[in-house]
Amino acid sequence: MANVVVVGTQWGDEGKGKIVDWLSERADVVARFQGGHNAGHTLVVGDEVYKLHALPSGVVRGGKLSVIGNGVVLDPWHLIGEIEGIRGQGIEITPETLMIAENVPLILPFHGELDRARESQNSVAKIGTTGRGIGPAYEDKVGRRAIRVADLADDATLELRVDRALVHHNALRAGLGLEAVDRADLLARLREIAPAILEYAAPVWKVLTEARRAGKRILFEGAQGALLDIDFGTYPYVTSSNVIAGQAATGTGIGPGAIDFVLGIVKAYTTRVGEGPFPSELLDEDGQRLGERGHEFGTTTGRKRRCGWFDACLVRQTCATSGVNGISLTKLDVLDGFERLKICTGYELDGERYDYLPTAADRQARCTPVYEEMEGWSESTVGARSWADLPAQAIKYIRRIEELIGCPVAMVSTSPEREDTILVTDPFAD
């Protein structure tokens, strides 16, 4: 199997960074296909910690091509800042190692302002976004008024695109009590950043097609998690992109047949940042303990994450919508020392039992979890590298998860260190 897609199966923050880094060592190309710098991927390599937001995780490994696909929305100023930061940590980034699709829509300063204005002005509309302009930038893409990377190359086109966007945005801003956008200033800023971005611009669909023909291994790196998917997530409390595995094809310009293995990243419990339903959320001491032991604070916003028991019903659903072939279970050690563990297996709503999360937001909010209980384990699972290193109860917990979600475990990650991994199935294996 040559090409692997890695997706989060919960509400993001499943620990994708480590797994992607682990897999990227064996990949030739690492491609981002959705989201933007709302993502936060932490990579620990030796003593060095890298915090990436917009850059694909492959950049920290020498000799790989990292690609930002058309499904991503890109803040050019943020990206250049991130590149400089990573260079400061001794990583080389050149147009040979990083390519940005020419059809990537840009996140502009007014997108961030709009995002934050909506979040603060009207509590009814609050989503709990990262405030980075992701939603407004995708709105402009679909509204056919986005400024895309390729537009930076021609000044007349750029002016035309800016005017087209401002007709819409200035009207919107007036309604929100925001000043009109300073056109001259925006154009000056775009002209200034253009050469730094255009250096990396490339027809990514073509580069990936050629890489595939040459037998190169491509790793598609998802951001966020399937429950934040614009179609299949807990709408409207979602991000504005498709997060599920099918987006790897649309968001880079490679056919769906190119995807050989979908690896779903599954945290051994559940977390969520921002607003929205969360049936297995714990507001008690157990929730507090999961948050503290799991260091559950957002990489991008520093916000405290909401914590709860593992929800097998939701992960069964997201494994189905992403066509997950195998899962990577992460942060099992956070459960060490819990006397009893609960797993959500379904919901009750208006006297009826559900084996999936109903679609309507009000119904999702009213679902009460149905739990089964298991005995926990007192031993440490930190750093386990084989099944023999795990307590029997921990293995039982993993096996029960496999059964309930209907998907086998391909890997178990037992610490942030890349070597602390139990490998069952190599997603890249032929």
Strand-pair partners of 202: 101
41 labelled ligand-binding: yes
Q: Which is nearer to ligand IMP, 237 or 310 (CB)?
A: 237
Catalytic residue among 111, 141, 169, 342: 141
Q: Which residues pair with 74 in a beta bridge?
A: 106
78 noted as active-site residue: no
Question: Is 302 part of any known ligand binding site?
Answer: yes
Pick the catalytic residue: 37, 41, 53, 342?
A: 41
Nearest approach, Cβ of residue 117 and ligand IMP (Å): 14
Q: Which stretch binds ligand IMP (CB under 6 A): 60-68, 232-240, 403-411, 414-422?
A: 232-240
Residue of the chain from 66, 239, 322, 364 that contacts ligand IMP (CB under 6 A): 239
Exactly one of 13, 21, 75, 311 is catalytic; which is it? 13
In the list 17, 105, 135, 427, the residue contacting ligand IMP (rule: CB under 6 A) is 135
What b/e readout covers 21-50, taking b as 16+ CB neighbours within 10 angstroms?
A: bbbbeebbbbbbbbbbbbbbbbbeeeeeeb
274 touching ligand IMP, by CB under 6 A: yes
Applying the rule CB under 6 A, the residues between 38 and 67 that interact with ligand IMP are 38-40
The minimum distance between CB 61 and ligand IMP, in angstroms, equals: 21
**Is there binding between residue 270 and ligand IMP (CB under 6 A)?**
no
39 is in an annotated binding site: yes
274 is in an annotated binding site: no
The span of 178-186, 188-196, 233-241, 323-331 binding ligand IMP (CB under 6 A) equals 233-241
Q: Which of residues 186-225 bind ligand IMP (CB under 6 A)?
A: 223-224
51 annotated active-site:
no
- Ligand-binding site membership of 330 (annotated): no
Cβ 193 to ligand IMP shortest distance, Å: 22
41 among known catalytic residues: yes
Q: Decide whether 236 or 337 has the Cβ nearer to ligand IMP.
A: 236
The 3-class SS string of the chain reads CCCEEEEECCCCCCCHHHHHHHHHCCCCEEEECCECCCCCEEEEECCEEEEECCCCHHHHCCCCEEEECCCECECHHHHHHHHHHHHHCCCCCCCCCEEEECCCEECCHHHHHHHHHHHHHCHHHCCCCCCCCHHHHHHHHHCCCCCEHHHHHCHHHHHHHHHHHHHHHHHHHHHHCCCCCCHHHHHHHHHHHHHHHHCCEECHHHHHHHHHHCCCCEEEEEEEEHHHCCCCCCCCCCCCCCCCCCHHHHCCCCCHHHCCEEEEEEECCEEECCCCCCCCECCCHHHHHHHHHCCCECCCCCCECEEECEEHHHHHHHHHHHCCCEEEEECHHHHCCCCEEEEEEEEEECCEEECCCCCCHHHHHHCEEEEEEEECCCCCCCCCCCHHHCCHHHHHHHHHHHHHHCCCEEEEECCCCCCCEEECCCCCCC
Task: With CB under 6 A as the rule, give the number of residues binding ligand IMP.
Answer: 21
Minimum Å gap between C-beta 370 and ligand IMP is: 25
Is 47 annotated as a binding-site member?
Answer: no
Q: Is 376 annotated as a binding residue?
A: no
Q: Cα–Cα distance between 417 and 223 in angstroms, integer?
A: 20
Contact with ligand IMP (CB under 6 A) among 107, 114, 259, 273: 273
Q: Please name the amino acid found at residue 87.
A: R
CB of 128 to ligand IMP, least distance (A): 4
- What are the C-alpha distances in Å from 244 to residues 48, 249, 268? 30, 10, 20
Tell me if 413 is assigned to a ligand binding site.
yes
Q: Is 42 annotated as a binding residue?
A: yes
Nearer to ligand IMP, 240 or 413 (CB): 240
Residue 242 or 345 with smaller CB distance to ligand IMP:
242
The token pair that represents 157 in the structure block: 């086109």
Q: Stretches 6-14, 87-95, 282-290, 350-358: which one binds ligand IMP (CB under 6 A)? A: 6-14
> Residues 112-131 vs ligand IMP: string with x where CB under 6 A?
---------------xxxx-
Q: Closest-CB residue for ligand IMP?
A: 274
Residue 333 assigned to a binding site: yes
CA dist., res. 378 & res. 370, Å (int): 25
Counting every residue written for the chain, the total comes to 430
Helix axes 76-88, 183-198, angle to 10 degrees: 40
Residues that bind ligand IMP in the complex, under the rule CB under 6 A: 11-13, 38-40, 127-130, 132, 134-135, 223-224, 228, 237, 239-240, 273-274
Which positions make up the binding site for Mg(2+)? 13, 40
What residues form the annotated binding site? 12-18, 38-42, 130, 144, 224, 239, 299-305, 331-333, 413-415
Q: Which residues are catalytic?
A: 13, 41, 141
Q: Please give the annotated binding residues for GTP, written as ranges.
A: 12-18, 40-42, 305, 331-333, 413-415
